[in-house]
Each structure stands twice: as C-alpha cells, then as structure tokens.
Amino acid sequence: MIAKKDKIYTKILRAIPTLTFGSTVVLLSEDSWLLQEDIEVVGFQLHAEIEEQLANDGKGAVCVELSQTGVWHSDGVLGIKTTVAEWNTSPAFGHTDRGEDSVMFPAGNRVTVKEEGYLYLHMCIDATELTAGIVKSEGIAIIYYTKPS
C-alpha cells in the first residue's frame, strides 16, 4: 500500500519509428528498462500517435504495448493503446485519434518487478492502406512506481 511518506518515481520509455507504405511491422523492445532494484508499479500512462503522414492519401494505425516480457501480446502485458489516423488530399480531409490512457492502481494494488527484470515498450505500425509515402509514429510509456521498504 502506498503510504503518505512513500515517494512515487517515474520512468519514461519512448520510441519514434518510421514505416514505409504497404507494410505492417511489430517492433519488439523499441525501448526497454533493465531494473537495478525491485520496484512496485502503481500506475502508467500510454501514448500512441501518428506524428506525420508523408503520403498523399491513406490510413495508418499505431499500437503501443507496455509489457514485462519480450513477446508481443503475451502474459505479462500491463497495458495496450491503439490510435488510428486517416487523411486525404483531394478533397482535403484528416482525422487523428490521439491515443492516451492512464491507469493508476487502487491503493494497495501494484505490479512488482524484481531486480534484473525488464519493462518493455513494444509497438506495431500498420501502413498497409497507404498508396505511397511513410508514416512517422511515436509511442511513450510513463511508468509510476515506488521502491519497496
């Protein structure tokens, strides 16, 4: 349980991959954190965004995953966030679903990660509906944690 005297620390994992048109890719361990001591995760925030669409027309999707394992969509996942963007040049049109989720566990609940354990930021980018060009995306995980007494 988090007592009033417990300090909450933060750690940021971030990736900014680029993908060319007509492909989908899962990027494992775009960023990771090897723990030097035991921690207790009390919450996290996930951000998934398509920053630039250097293409005329299309649709792109980005999925960000915070996990305790180096495997996509497996046991040990803390959270997943997906966002989609669509755009067109003629007629001019654009829509972006900026994906942000925050999770704070109720008092007394936490995820313990042991020393020499990992936390991973995985990403999946789908650019199969682009006619040409590239998609530049961003994934961020902000981890809120305490150190056990």
What domains does the chain contain, in order, with CATH numbers? 9-146 (2.60.120)
**If we measure between CA atoms, which residue out of 141, 59, 133 comes closest to residue 93?**
59
Largest CA distance in the chain: 60
Q: What is the pLDDT along the chain (149 residues), one digit of tens a residue?
A: 555 567 999 999 999 887 777 777 888 888 999 999 999 999 999 999 887 666 667 778 889 999 999 888 889 999 999 988 877 766 666 666 678 889 999 988 999 999 999 999 999 888 777 666 677 788 999 999 999 87
**Residue 116 main-chain phi, psi, to 5 deg:** 70, 10
- In terms of pTM, does the model score above 0.75? yes
The pLDDT value recorded for residue 91 is 66
Return the number of other C-beta atoms located less than 10 Å from residue 131's C-beta: 10
Q: Is the CB of residue 78 less than 8 Å from the CB of residue 67?
A: yes
The pLDDT value recorded for residue 131 is 64
For residue 38 the two structure tokens come to 């035991």
C-alpha–C-alpha distance, residues 124 and 139, integer Å:
10
Return the number of other C-beta atoms located less than 10 Å from residue 59's C-beta: 19
